[in-house]
Amino acid sequence: MTAPDDAHGRADELIERLRTRVQQRRDAGEYPQGLEADLDAHFQRIAGQRPGDLESVRAALVYLEGTMGFDPARIHTASNLRGGDLVHRGIAKAVSRQTEGVLEQVRVFAEAVRDTLQALLSAMEFPTTHEHAELIEQVDTIVERIASFERVDSGAPVEIEVLRRRIEELEAAEARREFHPWFSNQRFEDAFRGTAEDLQKRYEDLAREFVGVGGPVIDIGCGRGEFLELLRDLDVDAFGVELDPELVRADIDRGLVVEHGDGLLRLAAETDGSLGGIVLIQVVEHLSAQQVADLVQLAAEKLISGGRIVVETVNPQSLYVFAHSFFVDPTHAWPVHPAYLDFLFREAGFKEVLMRWRGLPDEEESLDELPEEGKEAENENIRRLNRLIFGPQDYAIVAVR
């Protein structure tokens, strides 16, 4: 390795030889008239511009470094639509592969821009040592990246645009489905669900499922609060969420802990692994298919180990339901088949899923078997019809996390 003093000495010698040769050519008249003045002006122009250019490139690099944290989690999915956050999150999952692919392309492109800016900065700071071929190659890389973006199959952006329009359609449809009756929900439940005493007798066994669960219980769509009162009598820490402000006020007046709002959004806001139990009594038939799926996923996230969820809803396997109860409530969306709900909980990782059949129609409603001997075939058909037409009106699933 050449010592620093030797290097400086060789440089001084070269400079002196260059000066001598330049002077010889000047004396011989080999340089065009005015060349030295032009070169001097050109040098001064470059030297004068370089500081400003350096600062702008440095500023561009700092900004670029600060904005290169590409992450799908930073994509805004909030919505003013009731339950819309869950819809948007579901759609985001559906296009997650396309989103990751786009972000990866953007990340690669941004890194190429950063490298080129660094090369430009180096070229201006050290103009005598920078290899311009390298700079040109990096600029060519960016041009190629831009061309690749133009060649990318437009399927993913088109699909995202279609989904965006679908969200807008869902929001508009939800607005059209909103129901604002002139009668009160309190009066409706009094007329069609029975007295508070009747319902407490009916749900006493389900309330006992939450004794000793080890965490608070949320009752989504708690209505008049009958189930919350049962939990309170069993010393279970519980609170309710209800959309109807009139019912909320009535519940609070009776000393219950009830919040006004959307139960699914309230559930989503809970800390993961913090709840001992979740209750939905005659609620899921009011939800969309996506909301039902989101509910089960949220339950899996929010319940503690050993926590449980109880879902009671109408039984679509009983035709009696459609003639007598399901269509009485104008806010019912669609019945949820017990086999499907059982499937959802098992797919979400619940270690125990129990089915409870509830609410058989009165015996006088069903078909009578024939009393005559030798009518066993006919009676078997009657029993089949009774199971199909007059099966249990409701079912409850008890799922343990």
Report how far apart, in Å, the C-alpha atoms of 332 and of each of 179, 203, 288, 315, 391 are: 11, 21, 10, 13, 20
CA angle, 85 then 86 then 88, to 5°:
65
pLDDT given for residue 66 in this prediction? 66
- What's the predicted TM-score (pTM) here? 0.54
pLDDT winner (highest mean) among 69-78, 133-142, 171-180, 239-248: 239-248
Domain edges within the chain: 1-25, 32-173, 185-400
What is the predicted pLDDT for the residue at 196?
73
DSSP 3-state of 260: strand
Question: What share of the chain has pLDDT > 90, as a percent?
Answer: 34
The answer to whether 309 touches 358, Cβ cutoff 8 Å, is: no
- 243 neighbors 260 (Cβ within 8 angstroms): yes
Could you write out the DSSP letters of every residue in 85-104? HHHHHHHHHHTHHHHHHHHH
Would you identify the CATH topology of the domain 185-400? Answer: Rossmann fold (3.40.50)
Question: 241-266 pLDDT, tens per residue?
Answer: 999 999 999 999 999 999 999 999 99
pLDDT tens for 329-357 read: 777 778 899 999 999 999 999 999 999 99
